[in-house]
Amino acid sequence: MSFESEIKRRRTFGIISHPDAGKTTLTEKLLLFGGAIQEAGAVKNNKIKKGATSDFMEIERQRGISVATSVLAFIYRDKKINILDTPGHKDFAEDTFRTLTAVDSVIVVIDVAKGVEEQTEKLVEVCRMRNIPIIVFINKMDREGKDAFDLLDEVEQKLNLTVTPLSFPIGMGYDFKGIYNIYEKNINLFSGDSKKNIEDVIAFNDINSKKLDTIIGDKAANDLRENLELVNGVYPEFNQKEYLEGNLQPVFFGSALNNFGVRELLDCFIDIAPTPRPKMSEERLVDSKEKDFTGFVFKIHANMDPKHRDRLAFIKIVSGTFERNKPYLHVRNNKKLKFSSPNAFFAEKKEIIDISYPGDIVGLHDTGNFKIGDTLTEGELLHYKGIPSFSPEHFRYINNADPLKSKQLSKGVDQLMDEGVAQLFTLELNGRKIIGTVGALQYEVIQYRLEHEYGAKCTYENFPVYKACWLAPKDKNSDEFKEFKRVKQKFLAKDKRGQLVFLADSQFSLQMTQQKYPNVTLKFTSEFE
């Protein structure tokens, strides 16, 4: 296959939603269609001992949530599909924001009963800022929930989207009969038999035919005709160009757990979703069809394989081909590196791969060379932008609980912070270490992983901080900045990259500081340099 046709075959997307909307279940079912797994295991169902393919960390199995973004790939109808399954729990939002820099489109999953939840609003806002094409999947139609039109209104208002349904439910909950596929003009009947992998589809060119009444009953058939008339009257017609520009969002209905409506979603997705898109670097716009390889690290995960204690850096390929054993320039360190065993992820298996194309995600074994946001090229000095670090909301001192294991503890903390699980601040005054996180649940994850992966025990101690602000003084040698450092010395710390950070203890002291030292700019996010 030619280089261009390899690019055209690829679809790289992320699945985002609120916890429990059924994101991991949807991922599993998509893999099932790709023939990548034999039986899908729902995350919380204890009867199935398998557990979900995409949740591989022990703590995820215990709690039934996803805490790390997993990367999965499969082939369907000759298209290579790369899924990035992201954590929905808000304590891990930062990982999700980073993942969104590596996808070309997203599918947003919404629970029919709960509708749009706040976590979904934040993530969709990030997609809109970057004009990422979005498809909405309304899940759990076999349960009682909100009316389909109310849900569509809610999606439009709360998420600020312009929607157009490409499938429509026939009934809901107990009366759920199936789905009319507007995109392909056929009906998929729901049997409620979760053992059936794929439901039967009946083609319907004319929904006014009497055949419809005999199949789903008069009332349901009339309701469907009325609803479809409304849909045609109210919503814009689907237009692929509008969708690709991020201005129109198709909506599908279904039930991921019963594998219902998932095929419709997938078939339409591979037809309309974008192939790998160009990406902006600080220097220029890089097109995916360029021959020279470029890519960036959007995630680092330590100890993916408990037997080997390895660290993998996940790289999204933006342009050119990535070849095994070929030296590439690590732009930040300005040195050439080559990789003898780049990994690709195929469902639950990692395979070593010789060549990868734009849109693909490759895992590189890392001995500590990479940080999040690093760029690899064939020699050009490029810097991919747009992976910010947010100000944490929780801060705690981290203390060593086992004096004999201090080396293990500092190595563990170092590696977990490189992954971007949380942020580490070192106080200027006494060198004490503080961990800042977006959500409180991360402290448990860190404690658990330090003990199980590094053999180190830690305890935490509260540290009252309102916000961490990165300092950007207009003049580093000014008297004002010197005085600021002298007065605030017990609130100053360095982050992992040695940048100076001011830890404000309250909103009031933050305002006072801004008034008193107008030339010392305080920032709440730090772009990864």
pLDDT at site 241: 93
Beta bridge partners of 37: none
| Alpha-carbon gap, residue 347 to 182, rounded angstroms | 30
H helices of 217-301, in order, are 218-234, 240-244, 262-272
Distant-in-sequence, close-in-space partners of 507: CB < 8 Å, separation ≥ 6:
466, 467
Whole-number Å distance between alpha carbons of 485 and 152: 53
* CB distance 444 to 452 below 8 Å: no
Q: How far apart are the first and last CA of the chain?
A: 37
Are the CB atoms for 224 and 207 separated by under 8 Å? yes
Q: Model confidence over 85-110: pLDDT tens digits?
A: 776 555 555 667 777 888 899 999 99
Contact 322, 240 (CB under 8 A): no
d(CA 3, CA 5): 6
Q: Which long-range contacts (CB under 8 A, 24 or more apart) does 302-305 make?
A: 302/415, 302/416, 302/418, 302/419, 302/453, 303/449, 303/453, 304/56, 304/363
- Asked if 363 and 370 count as a contact pair (C-beta separation under 8 A), the reply is no
Q: How far apart are CA 122 and CA 485, in angstroms?
A: 35
pLDDT digits (tens, 9 = 90+) for 474-524: 888 888 888 888 888 888 999 887 888 998 888 888 888 888 888 888 887
For residue 489, give every residue at least 6 positions away whose Cβ sits within 8 Å of its Cβ, in sequence order, or none.
428, 429
Residues 6+ apart with CB under 8 A from 515: none
DSSP per residue over 300-341, as a string?
A: EEE-SSTTTT-EEEEEEEEES-EETT--EEETTTTEEE--S-
| pLDDT value for 306 | 54
Q: What is the pLDDT of residue 292?
A: 92
At residue 527, the pLDDT reads 56
- Amino acid at site 6: E
Average pLDDT, the chain: 81
For residue 169, what pLDDT band results from cuts at 50, 70 and 90?
confident
E-only strand ranges, 142-293: 163-165, 167-170, 178-181, 186-189, 201-203, 249-253, 279-280, 285-286
Task: Give yes or no for a contact between 110 and 19, defined as CB atoms under 8 angstroms apart.
Answer: no
pLDDT for residue 54: 52
pLDDT in the model for residue 310 = 66
Which residues are registered as beta bridge partners of 329?
336, 377
pLDDT of residue 43: 42
> Treating both helix axes as pointing N-terminal to C-terminal, what angle do 441-454 and 406-418 enclose, rounded to 10 degrees?
130
| Separation of alpha carbons 454 and 328, rounded Å | 31
Cα torsion 206, 209, 214, 218: sign = positive
* Counts for the chain of helices (H) and strands (E), in that order: 14, 33
Token output for 448: 């658990």
pLDDT value, residue 61: 53
- Alpha helices for 435-524 (secondary structure H): 441-454, 479-487, 507-516
d(CA 470, CA 521): 8
DSSP assignment letter at 87: -
The residue to which tokens 């398998």 are assigned: 50
Question: What letter does residue 384 receive in the DSSP assignment?
Answer: B
Residue at token pair 């790369």: 82
User: pLDDT digit string (tens) for 314-325?
Assistant: 899 999 999 999
- pLDDT tens-digit profile of 247-296? 999 999 988 888 788 888 888 998 899 999 888 888 888 998 999 999 99
Confidence of residue 449 (pLDDT cuts 50, 70, 90): confident
Residue 325 Ramachandran class (φ > 0 left, ψ -120 to 50 alpha, else beta): left
Strand partners, 106: 14, 134
* Consecutive H or E run containing 409: helix 406-418
Confidence class of residue 390 from pLDDT cuts 50, 70 and 90? low
203 pLDDT above the threshold of 70:
no
pTM of the model: 0.75
pLDDT at 105 (0 to 100): 92
Confidence of residue 124 (pLDDT cuts 50, 70, 90): confident
Q: Which residues of 328-346 are buried (b: 16+ CB within 10 A; e: fewer)?
A: bbbbbeeeeeebeebbbbb
